[in-house]
Amino acid sequence: MQSLSFSSSISATKPQWRLTSSPAITFTRRTTKSTVNAKIREIFMPALSSTMTEGKIVSWIKSEGDVLSKGESVVVVESDKADMDVETFYDGILAAIVVPEGESAPVGAPIGLLAESEAEIEAARAQAAASSGSAPAAAAPSAPAAVASAPAPAATPAAVVADGPRKAVSTPYAKKLAKQHKVDITDVEAAAGIAPSESVTPVVTAAAAPPAAKSVPAFAEVPGATIVPCTTMHGAVSKDMIESLSVPTFRVGYPIMTDALDALYAKVKSKGVTMIALLAKAAAMALAQHPVVNASCKDGKSFTYNSSINIAVAVAINGGLITPVLQDADKLDLYLLSEKWKELVEKARSKQLQPHEYNSGTFTLSNLGMFGVDRFDAILPPGQACGAIMAVGASKPTPVPDKDGYFSVKSQMLVNVTADHRIVYGADLAAFLKTFAKIVQEPDSLTM
């Protein structure tokens, strides 16, 4: 057994402590040589929006072997709403492209490999080849395993019917008939001409077959039909529409006279003002007076009064739909709002919108009036801080009675608002629409 003892000696100068051990124990520190391995970094598929789960490679700006600098654009990725350039965070050489143009990858998956120097290029390419070839190889053996692991159906115990007297069970009407016809109800088999068996042999029931899987009803195939795969934006829109079904909504319509608005638009149109800018400005001014319609609810447990009034406007683009956002629409004048809207539309159609330019709306406008649609209902878009969406129809000449009962023809448009009933009630929406109608019918305040 080892023992440790402490002894001390006191001298005139200073105390000295000595640690003795029996037997002696020596401690040594092992030193290791660290080696720096070659650096091969992965370029990951980024999350370009809060709803993005995968991205599609539109084009590689750089080719394999190109020297890259930090912050330089490498690849163009199609997200669920826009095409965006992806930059590199490191200096190096693009050694290998893992995901080629036209293919998709989930968020966080490697799409390319970056080598620190030319010496690591071959190693990076080997790594890319190994990673691309391992996925099919790993998936192949899984099929037999799944078949082998399927449990055999358990044998069902034999059902045995015991011998002995049986109790006849009959309805009151059957008993009445038996009495009328003087038939012994306990011997119905004999009365029916069926000789009862004196003994019953055990009956073995076959094992119940497992229930057949419910098959998904298939649509009848139309001759000559063409199947087109959904784009990334189609998939995102489809997902949003399904999510919107979980929100309890209601709709309120309101007729609005537009003669004064049409006259104002005729004056300012030559200065670059658009009808969308006029409607967005009017909606923003009304929302400032009714903040609950500008609020949003995400979890059903609380709702948020948004500090900004950001008007999102639905725009149809090639292959889908997007909602560019006019931020702080209540604070911008009509002319700046129109310029901003034109910039957003150009970026939307070229798929160059940044995420904050299409997912920060607090209220949404959808206008089909330019197509002659007089009324429609809009779906509340999920994924944004929106509690309501306004569907704007066309302005058309309509006979309208005055307070004395005389008719006159005026331009009138119908607007329908879809709102989240968890935060907005009917009275709230009616008051908002009344204010919005007053601003549209007396539009001088829009130019102030």
Assess if residue 143 is contained within a domain.
Answer: no
Contacts of 195 (CB under 8 A, 6+ apart): 189
pLDDT in tens, 19-53: 444 444 444 444 444 333 458 888 888 887 766 77
Tell me the C-alpha distance between 296 and 358, whole Å. Answer: 16
**How much is the pLDDT for 352?**
84
At residue 342 the predicted structure's pLDDT band, cuts being 50, 70 and 90, is: very high
Tell me the C-alpha distance between 274 and 263, whole Å. Answer: 13
Using the 3D structure, point to which of 80, 113, 132 is the last residue of a domain: 132
Q: What is the mean pLDDT of residues 365-388?
A: 88
Alpha-helix residue ranges (DSSP H) falling in 142-187:
142-148, 172-180
Assess if residue 240 is contained within a domain.
Answer: no
Assess if residue 309 is contained within a domain.
Answer: yes
CATH number at residue 365: 3.30.559.10
CATH number at residue 102: 2.40.50.100
At residue 211 the predicted structure's pLDDT band, cuts being 50, 70 and 90, is: low
Lowest mean pLDDT among 2-16, 366-380, 410-424: 2-16
The pTM (predicted TM-score) of the whole model is 0.62
Tell me the C-alpha distance between 297 and 326, whole Å. Answer: 21
Assess if residue 348 is contained within a domain.
Answer: yes
Tell me the C-alpha distance between 347 and 360, whole Å. Answer: 16
Terminal Cα distance for the chain, rounded: 96
Q: Is the pLDDT of residue 166 over 90?
A: no
In the set 181, 290, 356, 421, the catalytic residue is 421
Name the residue with higher pLDDT: 336 or 91: 336
Using alpha carbons, list the distances in angstroms from residue 349 to 241, 321, 371: 22, 10, 19
Residue 328's CB is within 10 A of a number of other CB atoms, namely 14
- Domain count across the chain: 2
Q: Is residue 423 within 8 Å of residue 399, measured between CB atoms?
A: no
Using the 3D structure, point to which of 83, 113, 132 is the last residue of a domain: 132
Using the 3D structure, point to which of 94, 113, 132 is the last residue of a domain: 132
Assess if residue 441 is contained within a domain.
Answer: yes
Contacts of 394 (CB under 8 A, 6+ apart): 368, 369, 370, 371, 372, 373, 374, 413
Assess if residue 11 is contained within a domain.
Answer: no
Q: Is the pLDDT of residue 337 over 60?
A: yes
User: Which of 333-337's residues contact partners 24+ apart within 8 Å by CB, and which partners?
Assistant: 333/447, 334/268, 334/273, 334/277, 334/278, 334/281, 334/446, 334/447, 335/271, 335/272, 335/273, 337/277, 337/280, 337/281
CA angle, 163 then 166 then 170, to 5°:
155
Question: What average pLDDT does the chain have?
Answer: 77
Residue 372 is part of which domain span?
A: 245-447
Backbone angles phi, psi at 397, to 5 degrees: -60, 130
Name the residue with higher pLDDT: 262 or 26: 262
Assess if residue 310 is contained within a domain.
Answer: yes
Q: What is the mean pLDDT of residues 326-335?
A: 94
At residue 162 the predicted structure's pLDDT band, cuts being 50, 70 and 90, is: very low
Assess if residue 165 is contained within a domain.
Answer: no
Q: Please indicate whether residue 181 is annotated as part of the active site.
A: no
**How much is the pLDDT for 32?**
41
**At 191, is the secondary structure helix, strand, or coil?**
helix
